[in-house]
Amino acid sequence: MRGITRTVWVLSLISLFTDAASEMVYPIMPVYLRSIGFSVLLIGVLEGIAEFTTGISKGYFGKLSDELGRRAPFVQLGYTISALAKPLLAVSVKPLWVFLMRSADRLGKGIRTGARDALLSDEATPQSKGKVFGFHRSMDTLGAVLGPLLALIYLHYHPENYRGLFLLAFVPGILAVALSLLLRDRHHRLSPSKNNVSFFSAFRYWRESSTPYRTVVKGLLLFALFNSSDVFLLLKVKESGADDRVVITIYIFYNLVYALSAFPLGNLADTIGLKRMYIFGVVLFASVYLGMSFTDNLHIYYILFFVYGLYAAATEGVARAWITNLADKKDTATAIGAYTAFQSVCTLLASSLAGWIWFAFGPTTTFFITAIIALIVAVYFLLSRY
């Protein structure tokens, strides 16, 4: 396949196994948390803190990766931490332990993401980044199909044995760690920078970055501020009367749509422009949340999750490709890290805010407000020069 190098394949397979591990437990996470006494509000806070940990660490470790001129060690360490944290989550039901292990899992993601995306960017040209990032997202999301399928089979034979499922997720996680050992830095900097890297140093990149970068990231952050965790979508399905198997099946369906469409939509984005594809995705997102705010019909949920899969395919890889095209090559990991660091603050607020709105006003208001903000973001990008 032209443009898909060995490194892209290895990174994509690593992501496939890691996502299989993550997604074995993700769709049942809200159900598991409710079963051990977590309220919807506390689930929102947990997911917000977990994503905040991811984003802040992405900023720091992305900057550190650029300063040291190294990528592979960050990728390897990050995947190792995440692989270990998932089974440890089931060791105790105490809230503090759950918060620590969930945050450790997300810390691993934060350590690896900037360096991994920089490796992917190095393997592409500005004209092929949609294809490369789209292929990676397709493989990543294929893992998100396999993971819930394994969970569905496991829960069929062991109903509500959530702890055993967390332990089983250790297997694909270790396979991902083993594959990461095949990675080598393509361009190793012989003289690493002497600059000190503080935990919040990636935030300085905002002042140093270009006007197009800041303009685009502002719109992305407004969207992130109201784009809460997907657990709320799954919780809506669950509270509409669906059992665990239906919730997981819908989530598998969503990820299958995502996996099958990310690569072709990434290719299309290279043709029509990354910005146009992203706007299309945001409009799809708004339509899903509007639909979720007005329906409790299981069949409609399948349609909405189909559209939600298209939205994810049109935005996730495309946003990263878009950002790397707006940054200097030597600052690629920092640019992505800085964006995700700011995004983490927005995500903390988004999930916590969604949990509070749901608790105070119900799911209809939660989803309706999110849809309106998404439409405002689409208009912002339509009017933007970049």
- CA distances to 82, 111, 173, 183, 279 from 176, rounded to whole Å, are 10, 15, 5, 12, 33
pLDDT at 192 over 60: no
The average pLDDT across 19-42 equals 78
Pairwise pLDDT comparison (125 vs 201), residue with the higher score: 125
- Whole-prediction pTM value? 0.73
| Nearest residue to 230 via CA among 76, 25, 26 | 26
Pairwise pLDDT comparison (331 vs 223), residue with the higher score: 223
The average pLDDT across 126-153 equals 84
> pLDDT value at position 162?
77
Pairwise pLDDT comparison (360 vs 276), residue with the higher score: 276
| Secondary structure string (H, E, C) spanning 85-133 | HHHHCCCCCCHHHHHHHHHHHHHHHHHHHHHHHHHHHHCCCCCCHHHHH
Query: Which residues, 6+ apart, have CB-to-CB distance to 231 below 8 Å?
Result: 26, 29, 30, 43, 47
**pLDDT band with cut points at 50, 70 and 90 for residue 199:** low
pLDDT at 97 over 50: yes
> pLDDT value at position 101?
86
pLDDT at 145 over 90: no
Domain ranges within the chain, ordered by starting residue: 6-183+205-383
> pLDDT value at position 1?
65
- CA distances to 6, 51, 100 from 139, rounded to whole Å, are 14, 22, 29
The average pLDDT across 308-325 equals 89
Max avg pLDDT among 78-82, 89-93, 279-283, 347-351: 279-283
Query: What is the Cβ-side half-sphere exposure of residue 278, based on CA atoms within 13 angstroms?
Result: 25
Asked whether the beta carbons of 130 and 317 are under 8 A apart, the reply is yes
> pLDDT value at position 317?
81
DSSP, collapsed to helix, strand or coil, labels residue 196 as: coil
Strands, E, within the chain: which ranges?
Answer: none
The average pLDDT across 95-113 equals 86
> pLDDT value at position 197?
65
Asked whether the beta carbons of 95 and 127 are under 8 A apart, the reply is no
pLDDT at 190 over 50: no
**Tokens 């299989």 map to which residue?**
20
pLDDT digits (tens, 9 = 90+) for 234-293: 888 888 888 777 887 888 898 889 888 988 998 898 889 899 999 999 999 999 999 998
How confident is the prediction for the chain on average, in pLDDT?
84
pLDDT at 195 over 70: no
The average pLDDT across 363-377 equals 92
pLDDT at 27 over 70: no
pLDDT at 103 over 90: no
The average pLDDT across 222-232 equals 85
> pLDDT value at position 9?
92
**pLDDT band with cut points at 50, 70 and 90 for residue 96:** confident
Give 6-183+205-383's CATH code, choosing from 3.40.50.10140, 1.10.10.10, 1.20.1250.20, 3.30.930.10.
1.20.1250.20
Asked whether the beta carbons of 321 and 287 are under 8 A apart, the reply is no
CB atoms within 10 A of CB 297: 12
The average pLDDT across 15-26 equals 86
> pLDDT value at position 215?
92
